[in-house]
Amino acid sequence: MWKLKKIYYVGAIVCSMIYIVWRGLFTLPWEQSFLELSYGLLLWLSEILSIFTAFVLIWNKKTWKQPQQPDIVSKDIFPDVDILIATHNESASLLYKTINACTFLEYPDKHKIHIYLCDDKNRPEMKELAEQFKINYIGLLENRHAKAGNFNYALKHSQSPLVATFDADMIPYSNFLMATVPYFFKRYATLTRKKVGFVQTPQSFYNEDIFQHNLYANRAIPNEQDFFSREVNVLNSYHDSAIYTGSNTLFLRTAIVAAGGFPTNTLTEDFQLGAQINSCGYDSISTTDPMASGLTPTDAKSIFKQRTRWARGMIQSIKNLHLLSNKGLSWSQKIIYLNGYLYWWSFLGRLLFVFAPILFALFDFRVVNTNFWLLLIFWIPGYGLLTFVKHDLSGNITNQRWGEVQELFFALYLILPVILETIGIKNNQFKVTQKNGDDSKKDILYAIPHIVILLLTIVSLIKFNYGKFGSEILYGSVITFWLLNNLINAFFAVLLFVGKPKQAVQTFHVSGIVEMSVSKKYQKIELCYLTESTVRIKLSADMSLVPEKSYEMTIITSCYTAHVHAYVQEQYGTNDFLMAIESIDEANERQLLQMLHDGFNKQLPLERNQWLTTFDLLFDNINRRLRILNRIGKGRGK
């Protein structure tokens, strides 16, 4: 099987190279107008960029080898660890969950764990929260360097040889330290010849992201960031260049010091610090299994601001690093970081791919000068093989279709900041991403450009194919193909804004039982799911609950036990009840929070549902939204 795949991979590379050379030598519109030639050149460069990033993924995947897992030897050698939790303006309730989880971290000697709440606003309520948990508090006034300044200040007031960093909303699993600390043992470094600077665990989230939620795809696709965190960054590890993504990370303190501390001259201090650590001779590792989960933004405004900051910061960091001339980085590390920079230019490529067939169909704007048969001969082999290879490389996390939908969704709001930052028009203002689950009603305004693209694509399809028959349809099939492809992507992008479902309280699948007295008998009952304020249970056929009565319940999982008082909030079936928690003390609340957050939320998928096609999801979205409109219509009729 691998030999056959190897043929496909080599074929994809060879055919793609032939296609790119042919495009550059024979299809650029030199005899057309200046605008058409300029667009044609940009489109060709975008194709080169797209193929280059695919080649990097192929190279990264095929040179990768399963890393040796570190052994846990004598537990007496586990060193002291500082846990730094950064906060700027987040609420005490949000930080409560993160701090609570840190107090449950497993370690041979828990006295060696030193937790610091790093507050760059010096808020009294944060100091009180730290005192409540009996952890260290570091308040900072007049911080001018955002999270980097906050962490640099905290490093001066802490001293352990290992340092873990967490964002305010990122809740670590109890085995975070036991899974990451062994990478720094001398025995592991000797066996692998690695001088480990930091270990990055995947960015993971316990709520639905904007794609999962707004497209009713919370059972169909993983989080949009999973492909990078659990696939690409893991592959980067083999070249000792895993990227630091800002949280869920364990550092060797001396590596941070050698790199000059957290950099303050960029919006992405995380990426730049990781690269500077690499340039100082330290390696970096990214693991495959999530070891913490946080909140991902769910409204368009917040997510666009977040990605704009990432884009601008990456460009700033690449300039600061002097990437191509940096003697501390190997050529493989430079390729990986260059590829990360070029990712932000893929959004310009997506827009060029979208508008090229539209402009040709509506205005006969020619950016490629060739005939139908030559195009098929040179384009189809490379495109087909490269599509297969990318599908194979993406595994079960994503595919080409979702990549294109996500690119189009972001492109219209990212490409201008990327261009401005590149030409030197900077924005150095750091703003914390809002992750409070705001279901913004203004999201529809962000959809206007996507709606325009959708309408233009529809008009182009009609105009281009109207009145054509036989061979005319055949010769125009390439343009029709791209218009139809763009139509699907644009339709999904619009659905992300229009008629989206309302945000509900995030539920958590928890394996366990509920013990409670029912009909004067103490019963063990099946636990369906939990939230912070509700418990859903399924009783046997001979049981029933009284709606107004308060019940004392004991929720039991493999690691935690919580005693609560709850009443029936809703009944879904004969024996299916949603219980609202009305009374719980602090000790049991902390146990309950651990039940929810000590592990990946199994209500969300880690892999793409390969049995559900793009068209299945598209038709499901249309049907769901039509039902919503129907209900609204009936409501107004009444």
10-24, 243-257, 409-423, 543-557: range with lowest mean pLDDT: 543-557
Residues 568 and 545 sit within 8 Å (Cβ to Cβ) = yes
Please say if the pLDDT value at position 395 is more than 80. no
Tell me the average pLDDT of the chain. 91
* DSSP letters spanning 383-405: HHHHHHHHHHHHTTT--HHHHHH
Q: How far apart are CA 279 and CA 273, in angstroms?
A: 10
Task: Give tens-digit pLDDT for 277-299.
Answer: 999 999 999 999 999 999 999 89
Task: Give tens-digit pLDDT for 67-116.
Answer: 777 777 677 889 999 999 999 999 999 999 999 999 999 999 999 999 99
Residues 593 and 191 sit within 8 Å (Cβ to Cβ) = no
Please say if the pLDDT value at position 269 is more than 60. yes
Q: CB neighbours of 274 closer than 8 A, spacing ≥ 6?
A: 198, 200, 242, 243, 244, 284
Give me the mean pLDDT over the 510-525 stretch.
86
Give me the mean pLDDT over the 396-402 stretch.
88
Instruction: List, in sequence order, every residue forming a beta bridge with 537; answer none if it has no partner.
Output: 527, 577
Please say if the pLDDT value at position 564 is more than 70. yes
In this prediction, residue 625 carries a pLDDT of: 87
Give me the mean pLDDT over the 373-389 stretch.
90
Give me the mean pLDDT over the 126-131 stretch.
97
pLDDT band at 40 (very low <50, low <70, confident <90, very high): very high
183-187, 190-194, 353-357, 425-429: range with lowest mean pLDDT: 190-194
Please say if the pLDDT value at position 439 is more than 60. no
Instruction: Supply the pTM of this predicted model.
Output: 0.93
pLDDT band at 192 (very low <50, low <70, confident <90, very high): low
Q: How far apart are CA 552 and CA 396, in angstroms?
A: 43
In this prediction, residue 435 carries a pLDDT of: 63
pLDDT band at 612 (very low <50, low <70, confident <90, very high): confident
In this prediction, residue 441 carries a pLDDT of: 66
Please say if the pLDDT value at position 459 is more than 80. yes
Produce one character per residue of 259-298: b if its CB has 16 or more CB atoms within 10 Å, e if not: bebbbbebbbbbbbbbbbbbbbebbbbbbeebbbbbbbbb
58-67, 175-184, 455-464: range with lowest mean pLDDT: 58-67
What is the DSSP secondary structure assignment for residue 106, as one 8-state letter? -
Q: Please, where are the H alpha helices in 466-585? A: 471-475, 477-495
Give me the mean pLDDT over the 404-431 stretch.
90
Identical fold, 75-343 and 513-597: no
In terms of C-beta density within 10 A (0-12 exposed, 13-18 middle, 19 or more buried), how is residue 354 classed? buried
In this prediction, residue 325 carries a pLDDT of: 96
The structure tokens listed for 463 are 């105009």
Instruction: List, in sequence order, every residue forming a beta bridge with 573; answer none if it has no partner.
Output: none
Beta strands per DSSP E along 541-626: 550-556, 561-571, 576-583
Give me the mean pLDDT over the 7-17 stretch.
90
In this prediction, residue 188 carries a pLDDT of: 63
What is the DSSP secondary structure assignment for residue 300, as one 8-state letter? H
Q: How far apart are CA 217 and CA 605, in angstroms?
A: 10
Please say if the pLDDT value at position 440 is more than 70. no
Give me the mean pLDDT over the 323-351 stretch.
96
Overall fold of domain 75-343: Spore Coat Polysaccharide Biosynthesis Protein SpsA; Chain A (3.90.550)
Residues 137 and 130 sit within 8 Å (Cβ to Cβ) = yes
Query: Of all helices (H) and strands (E), which one includes residue 293?
Result: strand 292-293
363: phi > 0 → left, psi -120 to 50 → alpha, else beta; which? alpha
Q: Which amino acid is at 29?
A: P
pLDDT band at 522 (very low <50, low <70, confident <90, very high): confident
Give me the mean pLDDT over the 187-214 stretch.
86
In this prediction, residue 185 carries a pLDDT of: 85
The structure tokens listed for 357 are 């067939």
Please say if the pLDDT value at position 390 is more than 60. yes
Give me the mean pLDDT over the 355-371 stretch.
96
> How big is the CA angle at 135 (ends 134 and 140), to the nearest 5 degrees?
130
Please say if the pLDDT value at position 433 is more than 70. no
Q: CB neighbours of 176 closer than 8 A, spacing ≥ 6?
A: 105, 164, 201, 248, 250, 291, 292
Task: Give tens-digit pLDDT for 152-162.
Answer: 999 999 999 99
Domain 513-597 has CATH 1.10.510.10: no
The pLDDT > 90 percentage for the chain reads: 73
Map tokens 């957290």 to a residue. Answer: 262
Q: Per this entry, what is the length of the chain?
A: 638
Q: Which amino acid is at 87?
A: T
Q: How far apart are CA 155 and CA 116, in angstroms?
A: 10
Q: Please, where are the H alpha helices in 496-548? A: none
Please say if the pLDDT value at position 64 is more than 60. yes
The structure tokens listed for 314 are 């990456």
In this prediction, residue 133 carries a pLDDT of: 98
Domains of the chain, residue spans? 10-40+349-414+448-495, 75-343, 513-597
Give me the mean pLDDT over the 203-212 stretch.
95
Hey, is 417 helix, strand or coil?
helix
